């Protein structure tokens, strides 16, 4: 079996080597302009999963001319940093947006470069995250006792070599107030060979450690990926998934249902389903919010509750994640709440008479789909 380093070193990074693209030289010249702005990377394991032009794997990693459309016909809210992460960085490459947790970027490299990446501005450009930014990030956490949860992100933290990862985890674990460490990664689903016994021996020293693994389509879950997830679950790491709702990839009830079922079978709990961000160069991947609510409606009650992720909009400009629910509360007064179940049947729930406070508001859900 080839090592993950070898599979990564054989990545497609040039337009000429892209799978299933038109041979037309004029088209390829235009694609090269796209690749100058947004680099290409498809590692050789993932390349094998791309079976034809326009399939869900192809769409995630092969650039198209649409990526430059946003620069021409510019949507006012599209931005290279739609979540204003740079505005929430007290030190370089550490985002402190919520009171008790931070996001720490370990690198700018990924096993594949997703065409819809929310950090398109950084990924594949080396030298943004450095040893020095990382040192400052860890120092910041050490000096901020309110930080009890760190999310290691990037890039992909699992592309950091074993020895360095061991050192970083060790430094974080030496901070007494840091309770949990999370790793946000796309590695188990796109370069599963990286999950080695040696890596597991390192990771298991640093519990409580949680993983959030990026998965978008059931076809990503190959036998190799199942093995990688099992190795991680067997060393006691709770596994969650994060999925981006993507036009033409997974904006479909049956695809999403197959994905969450396959995840649960592999001990991965669907955690977040993200409405696509307003990222420059990715507008063609966005769906309507109704599509997300439709998918949630088709899952809630119809399948294991554990398989239903939180559907969120990460608010443009840095407002943080906001959860959306299809309309389950039809009406409420201080006497009763009217709710709708998964079959569309309506029920009345009377409020307690004694505990009732006058004018006590009950949050109405944002959407009444």
Ligand X SMILES: *Cc1c(COP(=O)(O)O)cnc(C)c1O
Which residues participate in catalysis according to the annotation?
Answer: 97-98, 101, 110, 114, 117, 119, 277, 314, 321
Binding site for ligand X (CB under 6 A): 95, 97-98, 101, 103, 151, 321
Shortest distance, position 66 Cβ to ligand X, whole Å? 26
Please, which residues bridge with residue 101 across strands? Answer: 98, 149
* Cβ proximity to ligand X, 271 vs 285, nearer residue: 271
Return the closest-CA partner of residue 40 out of 123, 96, 106, 157: 123
* Cβ proximity to ligand X, 87 vs 301, nearer residue: 87
Shortest distance, position 317 Cβ to ligand X, whole Å? 13
All residues at 6 or more sequence positions from 365 whose CB lies less than 8 Å from its CB, including other chains: 324, 325, 326, 327, 328, 329
Shortest distance, position 193 Cβ to ligand X, whole Å? 27
Cα–Cα distance between 65 and 153 in angstroms, integer?
Answer: 28
Angle between helices 162-173 and 131-142 (to 10 degrees): 20
**Strand 268-274 to strand 239-244: parallel, antiparallel, or no bridges (unpaired)?**
parallel
Shortest distance, position 293 Cβ to ligand X, whole Å? 20
Shortest distance, position 342 Cβ to ligand X, whole Å? 25
Cα–Cα distance between 166 and 58 in angstroms, integer?
Answer: 34
Shortest distance, position 332 Cβ to ligand X, whole Å? 27
Cα–Cα distance between 167 and 134 in angstroms, integer?
Answer: 12
Cα–Cα distance between 163 and 165 in angstroms, integer?
Answer: 5
Distance of CA 183 to the CA centre of its chain: 11
Shortest distance, position 96 Cβ to ligand X, whole Å? 8
Shortest distance, position 212 Cβ to ligand X, whole Å? 7
* Cβ proximity to ligand X, 184 vs 326, nearer residue: 184
Task: Answer for the pair 103, 95: CB distance below 8 angstroms, yes or no.
Answer: yes
- Residue in this structure with the two tokens 């946003």, named with its chain if needed: 70
């Amino acid at each position: 079996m080839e090592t993950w380093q070898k599979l990564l070193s054989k990545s497609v990074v040039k337009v000429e080597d892209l799978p299933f693209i038109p041979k037309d030289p004029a088209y390829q010249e235009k694609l090269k302009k796209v690749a100058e702005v947004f680099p290409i990377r498809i590692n050789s394991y993932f390349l094998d999963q791309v079976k034809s032009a326009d399939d869900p794997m192809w769409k995630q990693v092969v650039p198209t001319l649409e990526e430059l459309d946003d620069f021409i016909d510019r949507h006012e809210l599209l931005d290279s940093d739609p979540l204003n992460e740079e505005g929430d960085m007290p030190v370089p490459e550490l985002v402190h947006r919520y009171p008790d947790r931070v996001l720490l970027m370990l690198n700018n490299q990924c096993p594949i470069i997703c065409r819809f990446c929310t950090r398109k501005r950084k990924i594949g450009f080396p030298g943004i995250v450095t040893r020095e930014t990382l040192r400052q990030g860890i120092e910041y956490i050490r000096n901020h006792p309110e930080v009890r949860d760190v999310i290691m992100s990037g890039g992909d933290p699992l592309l950091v070599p074993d020895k360095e990862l061991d050192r970083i985890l060790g430094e974080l674990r030496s901070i007494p107030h840091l309770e949990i460490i999370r790793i946000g990664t796309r590695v188990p689903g796109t370069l599963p060979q990286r999950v080695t016994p040696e890596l597991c021996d390192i990771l298991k020293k640093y519990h409580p450690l949680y993983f959030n693994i990026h998965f978008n389509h059931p076809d990503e879950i190959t036998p190799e990926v199942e093995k990688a997830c099992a190795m991680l679950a067997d060393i006691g790491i709770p596994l969650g998934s994060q999925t981006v709702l993507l036009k033409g990839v997974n904006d479909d009830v049956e695809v999403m249902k197959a994905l969450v079922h396959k995840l649960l079978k592999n001990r991965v709990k669907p955690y977040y389903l993200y409405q696509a961000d307003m990222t420059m160069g990715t507008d063609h991947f966005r769906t309507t919010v109704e599509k997300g609510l439709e998918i949630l409606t088709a899952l809630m009650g119809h399948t294991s509750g554990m398989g239903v992720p939180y559907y969120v909009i990460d608010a443009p400009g840095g407002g943080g994640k906001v959860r959306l629910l299809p309309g389950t509360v039809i009406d409420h007064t201080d006497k009763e709440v009217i709710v709708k179940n998964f079959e569309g049947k309506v029920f009345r729930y009377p409020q307690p008479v004694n505990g009732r406070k006058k004018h006590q508001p009950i949050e109405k859900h944002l959407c009444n789909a």
